[in-house]
Amino acid sequence: MRIWTYIRPFSYRGDDYVVELAAHLTRNFSRLWRGDELLDEQSVHQRDGIQTCVHALPADAGEDTRVEVGYVNWWSVGIAVLQGDDTLYESHPGKNVRVLEGLLQGTAMSSMTSQSDSCHEPKTEPAPTAGSDLNVAQMIESNQNKWERNKYSIYADMALGALFFLVGKFTEDLALAAIIGAAAGLALVVVQRFVKVDLLGGFAVFGIIMLLISAGFSLALQDDYWVQMKSTVLGIFTASLFMIDGVVRQGAYFGARIERYMPMPLHHGRIAIGISLTGLVMAYGNYLVAENFSEDFWLTYTTFLDIPVSMAMFYAVVYWARKKPTDPES
């Protein structure tokens, strides 16, 4: 599923080039075009962390001329055209396109990944110190194991969201869509008893409770407006639970379970508080859309448009909650 596409045009020696970076849920694709000609295409899996793609320009553009493509902040991609050590062009002047490189693993990974699974050529990195808790190879293996363990629950969440959207779109009955979505979720709970793969993730008990509340909400108030408000009401309720866990229990329940999905160690209290604040913002956003736009637009927003916003906020929370090597043991 494509989340966003960044287009970065530039001109060099009379030729018009375009860099296109397509961000998907599981993998990013970077392409370099000259006119209508595709010169290079690379990809990197999300589990390998944020990486910088390097596209070599054709030989007639000059020796060692290349374009680097990377995130200049949490929400935007920039490019830098280089020749040797000289910078010829920057889409975001003064911004470093490698600033977030390797962040989701807490270290640069390029020296350990193959050219087929990395966006840029290997470069020399300092060797891990003897006291390091995890070296880069162990991080890669850990991330792969986490993805294999959690991917089915992610697929299940996406399927439930798609079911709610399709039922609501074709029946124009949001109460029915909510009830069917809750029934499908409860069916997953039953199926989980008979399969070995994890369909519910680390929040099984909490998820079951929320499904029951959601179904009861829709049955008691079979009004489209209140079905729209359900996300706001439940969002505030859930955010309150996360905040209590983060402040009172230092994230012992929710924070610890969220860390299970992350490729680096986190402060449990910080991640729980950050998720709580994210939930409050998203609950308020849902309220604004429901109050000021059509039901059809709200359905599109709640299924697709709020994803980039929540993901950007989530990445910011993870950045704030990540543990540094210098942090004392909690």
**Do residues 6 and 36 share a domain?**
yes
**Do residues 198 and 262 share a domain?**
no
- Reading the block at residue 27, the tokens are 């993998």
Please give the pLDDT value at position 145: 64
The verdict on residue 66 lying in a domain is: yes
Q: Which of 189, 222, 255 is the last residue of a domain?
A: 222
Return the closest-CA partner of residue 112 out of 134, 90, 85, 92: 134
**Do residues 70 and 34 share a domain?**
yes
Task: Tell which wins on pLDDT, 223 or 6.
Answer: 6
- Binned at pLDDT 50, 70 and 90, residue 46 comes out as low
Task: Tell which wins on pLDDT, 124 or 160.
Answer: 160
**Do residues 109 and 171 share a domain?**
no
Average pLDDT estimate for 100-105: 55
Q: Which of 168, 197, 222 is the last residue of a domain?
A: 222
pTM of the entire predicted model: 0.48
Please give the pLDDT value at position 66: 92
**Do residues 183 and 148 share a domain?**
yes
Residues in contact with 257: Cβ distance below 8 Å, sequence separation at least 6, in sequence order: 202, 203
**Do residues 253 and 306 share a domain?**
yes
**From CA 154, how far away is CA 199, in angstroms rounded?**
8
Total domains in the chain come to: 3
Distance of CA 2 to the CA centre of its chain: 12
The predicted-structure confidence for 214-268, as pLDDT tens digits, reads as follows 667 766 766 667 777 877 888 898 899 999 999 999 988 888 878 776 767 888 9
For residue 31, the cross-strand partners are 20, 41
Please give the pLDDT value at position 135: 47
The verdict on residue 125 lying in a domain is: no
**Do residues 10 and 109 share a domain?**
yes
The verdict on residue 123 lying in a domain is: no
**Do residues 267 and 305 share a domain?**
yes
Distance of CA 290 to the CA centre of its chain: 25
Percent of residues, the chain, with pLDDT higher than 90:
21
**Do residues 14 and 73 share a domain?**
yes
The verdict on residue 276 lying in a domain is: yes
The verdict on residue 127 lying in a domain is: no
**Do residues 6 and 101 share a domain?**
yes
The verdict on residue 129 lying in a domain is: no
- Binned at pLDDT 50, 70 and 90, residue 122 comes out as very low
**Do residues 212 and 314 share a domain?**
no
Q: Which of 222, 257, 276 is the last residue of a domain?
A: 222
The verdict on residue 154 lying in a domain is: yes
**From CA 261, how far away is CA 231, in angstroms rounded?**
24
67: domain range? Answer: 2-117
Cα–Cα distances in Å, from 109 out to 146, 175, 197, 313? 17, 47, 29, 24
Please give the pLDDT value at position 329: 58
The predicted-structure confidence for 301-314, as pLDDT tens digits, reads as follows 887 788 788 888 98
**Do residues 108 and 38 share a domain?**
yes
Average pLDDT estimate for 206-211: 60
The verdict on residue 126 lying in a domain is: no
Please give the pLDDT value at position 69: 92
**From CA 40, how far away is CA 57, in angstroms rounded?**
9
Average pLDDT estimate for 312-318: 88
